[in-house]
Structure 1
Amino acid sequence: MKHPVATLPGLAASPPVSRASRMRTGARAVASVAACVCVLAGAAAAHAADNPVRMMPVDAFLDTLGVVTHVNYTDGAYLNVRNVADDMAWLGIRHARDYTPGPSAPFASYAYLAQRGVRFNFLVRSNIAESIELAARLNTEVPGSIAAIEGFNEIDNFPIPYRGLTGQAAGLAAQREIYTRVRGTPELKGVPVYDLTGFDTRTVESRADSADYANQHAYPQNGNQPTYNSPGGSWIPAAIYSVKKFNLPIVITEFGYFSMPQSGWYMIGVDEPTQAKAVLNGYLDSAVAGVKRIYVYELLDEKADPQNKSGEMHFGMFRFDNSPKPVAYAIRNLTTILKAGTARRTKDPARSTLPYTLADMPVSANSLLLQKKDGRFVLALWNETQIWDRANGKPVTHPPARISIDFGASVRHVDVYDPLVSAEPQASHRDVRQLPVDVPDHVILLEITPADTPGT
């Protein structure tokens, strides 16, 4: 079954792509859409200095970060549930997507993770009633541990029968039962329902009484960047656009790259440093686009694959032996930088806007303004130039883009961070109004202390 093609007015767009469809069913033509970055409206445009730019609180951004786990895979790396908890705490991520407890994984494993602060988006198993009962039980034992309930996964790849129905009709009907049962379960009061994945969104006009959040998967192909590629697919924007008509908030419950370098065409693996760049960019891209949460596939390499025979075994942020890949270090650095704060010595409210101008931003570049609780701002910048040579199976690094930032007035302090390198500043500037910055093909962070920031 083909995935829906998301089309912007006047543009051909690439279809949202599931991991399974690319890994298991082979290739399909992908349309070029160099201009599709316009979905993230104004993200790469310069900000006018007389129009202060509002920001996203750091805590709200951190709450968008999720990761897929497979606690039910007890024949590989996920057998050690303590590693799962430790790794998520080390990363600074608390949201996990997994199946509800089942025959292969004891309820106690999920309870342990919940007690360690993990919040689950639970995928429903074929026994809908049992799945929701188990989710309710966990949410009772560890209040707040259930962040969402999600419908069936990729029904185009994993079809399910339902009350005499088959195919898409079965999945859509089952989703309505899931929604009704969650709404009727007191222990899950307030828990949102994510839609199922793998149905043709073009043929469905409404998700009323079926889902609180639209849901898609986005797996960039050919070593593409998550959002901007010229030529190439526009993966996260296309996934968003395909469900925009439902007028629901959106989650992306699978997104990622496997770190097994490949050449050729379709579902191309990349090396570990390139995986780190692309995943970091994807986390930021989705936040800019207003995605409520994005779950990177996945936390651990599931099984050992020393001869690199299966890309499926290399999606992890951690290798099979639980050693962190560059992507894990990058995410830890990102969350460490964002969580670091200074004590405030005043109760005066911090300003919630920062007037600034970005000049000479390429169309492939993007930005996101965040604010810490202590009043300081963090401006994230990244430029989605080509990062992988699919013909030769090698990483590509383009020169950074030199842009200019005007803060509208002198700011007290600017620290520049590169999460791929360290959680420590790579450069520091004091009492500056204008600052030239080299923006690479991955996220860098500018921590900005305005002159009037109280108590810092």
Structure 2
Amino acid sequence: MQASSADAFVDSMGVVTHMTYDNTPYYTNWPKVLTYLQNLGIRHVRDGYFNPNWGAPLTTRHQQLAQSGIRTNYVVPYDPAITSQSIQKLASVNKDMELLEAPNECDVAGNCGASVTTSMANMIAFTPVVRSAGTALNIPVLGPSFAAYETYGTVGNISSLMTHNNLHIYFGGRNPGSAGWGGLDAQGNAYGSIPFWLDQANLDAPGLPSLVSETGYLSFPGNPTPYTIPTDVEESYIPRTYALSFLNGVHRTYVYELLEEVNSPGYGLIDGNMNPRPAYYAIQNLIANLSDPGPSFTPGTLPYAITGGDANVRKLLLQKHDGSFWLLLWSEQSSYDPVNCLYLPVTPQQVTLSLGGTYYTPNIGTFDTTGHLNWSSTRTTNQTVPLTISDQITIVKILPL
């Protein structure tokens, strides 16, 4: 089986921030926010464009991100006063610009104009400014995101405005590998599933790669409401969202968002009291164990097979520069009913990992509901390893004998 680069998977992870929101801790408690970002290990954030003439503290804070190895995708709002030159100036000042993004969800009235018709016309007329800046800076440009899936099929081919298509995928409290819950598209994928949204992206920009600039879950601990989930369920679903997006060829996925704040209550890897939720720790531990920076390399193949279990078993094979393989396994089951606000039993999957060639498994790590990764030693060089797979990701480290 062909492996992917472990570090490419880590590099596909991003998180949304709102540094310009001056009524939130992003602005009022920036030192702690920066520390949380640094400790998380994430390398990519999605934030809003601002006038480069505003200067400090925003420019200083973005410079701190750059110094920490964190780069920013800037969402450029519809504003005729913004020019390609002003975007380029912001890039030169902030030092962290790696992506530009067309205006956000202009198929919603009020976002880019008073009516949907005006809003969409404004977006089409303005996005070439963003594209021009991206070309001048030699950085990719994300196309416009849309709130309604129908927009992708009605806006026409606008691939000339972007280098990557742009998707907002929310699961309404369902597991990220859901097969969908609505009608089928022309390819037979049901509304709400990741493949369904990728099909829509292929309508307005055929053949271009896609990024998911927003995805995530509403979570209100101790106060469940329909289509929200508890934090321990979020802990399982968020890492799987990253993994499933990567398996589906999505170049980067940004989880919405880092902090729960007044403008987006219920979202956040960190709660309103500035305490990390379990999903924060899950991402942190996933990155810490799989991060493998270094020069580009071509991952190899591993002779292995997984037997047993059912169609819910998912696997992602990764490799590091040192030749070690890291196999992620989980059962893509729903562990929560978001309509009736009830936990659902997860059926463990009894599977067997069989390694060909001269390989063995020295360590196995499994996430728990707090987001911690618990490692155990197999203490064997056996090439056949029985495993119990749940909805929590299990990481199997594989080395040559």
Tell me the TM-score range normalised by the shorter chain: 0.7 to 0.9
Q: What per-residue deviation string (whole Å, max 9, x for no partner) do you get for residues 298-347 of structure 1?
A: 001114xxxxxx9x312111112221110011111111111379xxxxxx
**Which residue of the other structure, out of 5, 9, 34, is the alignment partner of 1:85?**
34
Alpha-carbon offset, residue 264 of structure 1 = 6.6
2:168 alignment partner AA = H
Q: How does 1:390-405 map to 2 (within 5 A)?
A: 390-405=338-353
Match of 1:130 in 2: 82
1:362 shift after superposition: 2.1
Aligned-pair distance for 1:392?
A: 3.4
Which residue identity is paired with 1:153?
Answer: N
Give CA-to-partner distance per residue, 1:46-95, whole Å, 9 cap, x none.
Answer: xxxxxxx1111111111100000000111122122222221121111010
Taking structure 1 as reference, are residues 130 and 108 closer, same or farther at Cα in structure 2, changes over 3 Å only? farther
User: 1:150 maps to what in 2?
Assistant: 101
Matched, 1:95 2:44: yes
Partner of 2:236: 277
1:254/1:294 contact within 8 Å kept:
yes
CA distance in 2, matches of 1:361, 1:167: 49
Say which is worse superposed, 167-176 or 129-138, in terms of deviation: 129-138
1:454: which partner in 2?
none
Q: 1:82 to 1:397 in 2, by over 3 A?
A: farther
Matched pairs, number: 376
Contact 2:361–2:396 under 8 Å retained in 1: no
Q: What is aligned with 2:186?
A: none
Quote the RMSD (CA, aligned, Å). Answer: 2.7
The alignment partner of 1:66 has SS state of strand
Give the counterpart letter for 2:119 in structure 1. Answer: G
Counterpart mapping for 1:241-252 below 5 A: 241-245=199-203, 246-252=206-212
Match of 1:436 in 2: 386
Distance across 2 between alignment mates of 1:249 and 1:242: 12
Q: Shift of the alpha carbon at 1:132?
A: 4.8
2:397 aligned partner:
447
Q: Is 2:365 the counterpart of 1:417?
A: yes
SS for the counterpart of 1:409 is: coil
Instruction: Establish whether residue 289 from structure 1 lines up as the match of residue 237 from structure 2.
Output: no
Q: What SS class does the counterpart of residue 276 from structure 1 fall into?
A: helix
Note the 1:190-269 alignment, pairs <5 A.
190-198=138-146, 200-221=151-172, 223-229=173-179, 234-245=192-203, 246-260=206-220, 265=226, 268-269=227-228
The 2-side partners of 1:231 and 1:208 are apart by 29
Higher relative contact order (Cα pairs below 8 Å, separated by 6+ residues): 1
For 2:134 and 2:249, the matched residues in 1 are separated by 25
**In 2: Cα distance, 1:197 partner to 1:394 partner:** 32
Unaligned runs of 5+ in 2: 183-190
* Distance (Å, rounded) in 2 between the aligned partners of 1:333 and 1:302: 24
> 1:122·1:135 contact (CA, 8 Å) conserved in 2?
no
Secondary structure, counterpart of 1:160 in structure 2: coil
Contact kept? 2:2, 2:299, Cα under 8 Å = no
Which amino acid is 2:23 matched to? D
Alpha carbons 2:219, 2:266 under 8 Å: kept: yes
Identity, % of aligned pairs?
27
Distance (Å, rounded) in 2 between the aligned partners of 1:153 and 1:444: 36
1:71–1:131 CA distance, 2 compared to 1 (3 A): farther
Instruction: Check the 8 A contact 1:122/1:149 in 2, yes or no.
Output: yes
Conservation of the 8 A alpha-carbon contact between 1:65 and 1:293: yes
CA distance in 1 between partners of 2:87 and 2:374 (Å): 40
4+ residue stretches of structure 1 with deviation over 6 A?
none
1:233-277, Cα deviation, whole Å (9 max, x unpaired): 643222212112421011000000121166675xx1111111111
Match of 1:299 in 2: 258
Are 2:175 and 2:237, in contact at CA under 8 Å, matched by a contact in 1?
yes
Change in 2 beyond 3 A, CA 1:155/1:429: farther
**CA deviation map 1:387-422 (0-9, x unaligned):** 112343133231211112111235233311123353
How far apart in 1 are the matches of 2:133 and 2:342?
49
Say yes or no: does 1:118 pair with 2:70. Answer: yes
